[in-house]
Amino acid sequence: MPLRPPIRSFRDIERKLRRDTPVVTLFSGGLDSAYLLLWLRDNGFTDVHAVSIDLAESETSDQKTEIAGMLGAKLHILDCQEEFARDFVAPAISAQAVYLDLHPVSSTLSRPLIAQRAAELADRLGAHAVLHTANRSQNTLRRLNGALHLLNYPGLHGSPYDLEPVDRDDKQAALAQAGVELLKGRSVSGDSNLWCREFESGILDDPERHRVPDELFRWSAVRPGVAPSEISVGIESGIPVTVDGRPMELVELIAELNGRVGAYGIGRYSGLEHLDNGEKVLELREMPAAWILLRSYRHIEAACLDAELLREKQHLEQVWVREALEGRWFGDLRRAVQTFMDTCAQRTTGTVTWELRAGGADTRSIVAPHPLYLRDRERWEEQSIAAESSAHALLDPATA
């Protein structure tokens, strides 16, 4: 079935959607998504369903429930934390998903899951559209639209902000007039989940002059007087499974590492990420668990996998990142590369112990059950020479 052109403006919504049929909107609790609910209410849409995918973001369920209720929408909160960690974060760890060696990807991972769950809800409700609120200066626009396209979602979908952006002050004023003042005073746009807390726009618009207020950082705020300590991360067949030998599910493990590693001020990233037409925008984020998990994984890979295999894997890692980042998570190429990553992951088992200190960390132990590393170079050299001499003797007894 050919897919319809996406919704790109508020005029598209007026022309293409019936006001008495269900419509699903993605709802983060932020300014853009709240304003869309207000606009739909004020323009006569009577069956609006706001869907929030719970990935352990900063906004609370109570906040979202209050805002959606005030704006006449029915709120659906879907807890997808375990699925996000298992099916999206874990593959990103095995793929070493770091954008151009600048920062680990994050919203790249959450958007396909959000799109998938929203499309499923729309199908159950008999809704004819899934709306979101990404604008053209956000990579979320092509990631959500791309995911819905590859999922073969048959209804209308898209963001009215694509062609009709609304000034931030105008949105705040309209919401305040409607009695919604929970969003005042925000100086940046944020996106958060259990893997990442990200900041952009607002006071961070200019790459040549930017600073994140210290109070925005939560995970990576240095605890006063924090002393150096050791921490061990265990990985089994490509999946992080233990901290200091204690088995943990991945959601719990990530939360544990965000707290313990972040206490040393580790895990802050900044970098320019390209938009659809090649222009760049600044993004800053804190990801302490990602910092230590990705590095631990690489050390264990190096202990377990052949060097040539690792070289090819490093090339394919950026193919994986490109396909996911461009909104093709459900595309054939990303899936094919994932098969390669999964094959490598089957042999990636071991433990890395780190010494954490304010601002950094150093490895203290890298252990793998079937390693390729040497533990005694001199002994290896002696054994290697002896083996080579024996082989020569067998081939030419006259030299024995």
Q: What percent of the chain has pLDDT over 70?
A: 96
Contacts of 53 (CB under 8 A, 6+ apart): 26, 78, 80, 110, 113, 114, 117, 118
Beta carbons of 296 and 233 less than 8 angstroms apart = yes
More confident of the two residues 61 and 335: 335
Average pLDDT over the chain, rounded to an integer: 93
Q: What is the pLDDT of residues 39-92, one digit of tens each?
A: 999 999 999 999 999 999 866 788 899 999 999 999 999 999 999 999 999 999
> What CA–CA distance (Å, rounded) separates 228 from 231?
10
Locus of tokens 């490109």: 322
Contacts of 354 (CB under 8 A, 6+ apart): 230, 231, 232, 233, 292, 296, 361, 362, 363, 364
More confident of the two residues 109 and 400: 109
State residue 1's pLDDT score: 47
Q: What is the pLDDT of residues 342-373, one digit of tens each?
A: 999 999 999 999 999 999 999 999 999 999 99
State residue 3's pLDDT score: 59
Own/partner pairs, 202-206, CB within 8 angstroms, 24+ separation: 202/168, 204/282, 204/284, 205/282, 206/282
Reading the block at residue 135, the tokens are: 């604008």
State residue 183's pLDDT score: 60
State residue 321's pLDDT score: 97
β-bridge mates for residue 234, sequence order: 242, 351
Predicted structure pTM score: 0.93
145 SS3 class: helix
47 SS3 class: coil
Least confidently predicted of 74-83, 176-185, 236-245? 176-185
Contacts of 169 (CB under 8 A, 6+ apart): none
More confident of the two residues 391 and 234: 234
> What CA–CA distance (Å, rounded) separates 59 from 276?
28
Return the percent helix, strand and coil in the chain, to nearest 5.
45, 20, 35
State residue 2's pLDDT score: 52
Q: What is the mean pLDDT of residues 136-147?
A: 93
State residue 59's pLDDT score: 64
Residue-level length of the chain: 400
Q: Which amino acid is at 209?
A: R
> What CA–CA distance (Å, rounded) separates 13 from 83?
32
> What CA–CA distance (Å, rounded) separates 146 from 128?
18
Q: What angle do CA 90, 243, 228 make, to 5 degrees?
A: 120
Q: How many CB atoms lie within 10 A of CB 346?
A: 11
Q: What is the pLDDT of residues 299-321, one digit of tens each?
A: 999 999 999 999 999 999 999 99
State residue 186's pLDDT score: 65
If you compute the radius of gyration of the chain from its CA atoms, what whole number of angstroms results? 25
